[in-house]
Structure 1
């Protein structure tokens, strides 16, 4: 099942949020620094997963040019990490 991660602009930062039954998982990037913390990103959306992952990044509201750039970049990163985690952790060879 595809799960949606919302991308939104909140003042001085970009926020990605995945709502789950248990809690909300949130990852943020400050606009000023643009720093992407890969470890926090992984922990926010991938740590402890027990089944294949299928995420879709969706925008929440209208995005300006800079926000669109971050959205598209993060969308690509998310897709690549999902594919890599699924291949590495949930490949058919390891299951068999």
Structure 2
């Protein structure tokens, strides 16, 4: 039997995404979002900065964060330049295949 994946994304009935992340992937996302907020903050409109900040706090505080679609899209779009290509493909694939 193959090992059960430790990271996954599930689409909830209310439209949000439930993230179950292994420690390494969680760390990658947290660092990428923190980097985007630190280095690119001047380029973000206030509402986008607030959305990304709220998403980062949710990822830090909750073991299995439940994110709205807008939070997931902002996270993927604006933190992606701080994530290597294969990890980007993994994360996007998990979100796209969420059921």
TM-based fold match above 0.5? no
- Structure 2 length-normalised TM: 0.29
Q: Which has the higher contact order (CA 8 A, sep 6+)?
A: 2
